[in-house]
Structure 1
Amino acid sequence: MAVMDDSRLAEELRLTIGRLVRTVRAVDTMPPGEAAVLGYLDRGGPLTTAEIAQQRGVSHQSAAKTVKGLLTQGLVRVEAHPDDGRKLLLTLTPAGHDRLAEERRRRADRLGRAINAVLTPDERKTLEAALPLLSRLSTHGTGE
C-alpha cells in the first residue's frame, strides 16, 4: 500500500473525522450551541458569557441567546463573580450535568454500536492504538 503525502493524509483525515462527528451528533437531542456551552462549563468551570462567546468564536449576542435558553431550561445558573461585582458567572446546575451526561452517553452508545458492528477485533485494537496519536493531533497548537 502506497503512503499518502502529508497534505492528502490531512485532507482524508479531516473528511473522515468530519463524517464521524456528523454521524455521532445525529443522535443529539439539543442544539449544538447549547451542548457546546454545557461542555465548556463542564470542562472549564464557571465562565462569563463573554468568555463563552470567545471560546465558541461567536458574537456576545449569540452566546447570550444560547445562555438565556439554558437558563430558562434550568441547565445553568448565574452567580456573582468573586473578583468583579460587575460580572456574572455561569455554572452548570445538576440538571445541566445530567443533560450533558445523557448527550455524551447517547453519542458514545452510537459510536460503540458502530465499532462493534463494523470493526474486527484486530481493527478495534488498531483504533485503540491510534487514540494517543489523534489526541496529540487534537491538542497540537492549542496550548494544552
Structure 2
Amino acid sequence: MPGSAVETPVVGAAAAGPPLTLDERFALAGLAMDHRLAYAGAAIAVSTAHIDIPEILVDPLPATAPAPATVDAVLREAGRLITKRGWCRRWLTDGTALCARGAIQAAAGGEGALADDAEAALYAAIEREQPGAYLSVPDWNDQQTGAAAVIRMLNR
C-alpha cells in the first residue's frame, strides 16, 4: 500500500520484550562467566600441556679423559689437539681450530697453573731456538705460516 510503512525486522537486533529482573540478569551474567572461565581453562590446558619430546642425540658425548698432569703431557696433548682440530692465528679459537695458547689451555683441562707452566715451557723452547725474536707465545704463534712449526714445538 502506498504511504503505509512496512516494518522489516533487523537481523541481529534484540527483540524488545519486558525488562529483565535482577535475578534474570544475575543468571545471564553467571552463564557468561561460566563460558569465559571454561574458555580460559581450555586455553591454559593447551598452553601448559606436557609434550613428550624424545631426546635426540646423534653422538652421545664421549667420556672425558683426565687432564694431563705434567707440563710435557699438556704440551703433547696441545699438539694433538691442533693436529685434530686445526690451527689458527690471532684468536684462542675460531670455533674449531686452536692457536698454541688456546690448545694449551684446552689440554690443561681448566688447570690454570698447569697451563701457565706449559706456556712458559713452550716460550723457553722458542727462546732457545730464536732468542729475543718474540715477546710471547701468542706473538710467536701469530708469526707462523702454518701449523707444522707450532705442532713441532709443542711435541718437543
With normalisation by structure 1, the TM-score equals: 0.30
Q: Which one has a larger percent helix, Structure 1 or Structure 2?
A: 1
Higher strand share: 1
Bigger radius of gyration, 1 or 2? 2
Greater RCO, 1 or 2 (C-alpha within 8 Å, sep 6+): 1
Relative to the length of structure 2, the TM-score reads: 0.28
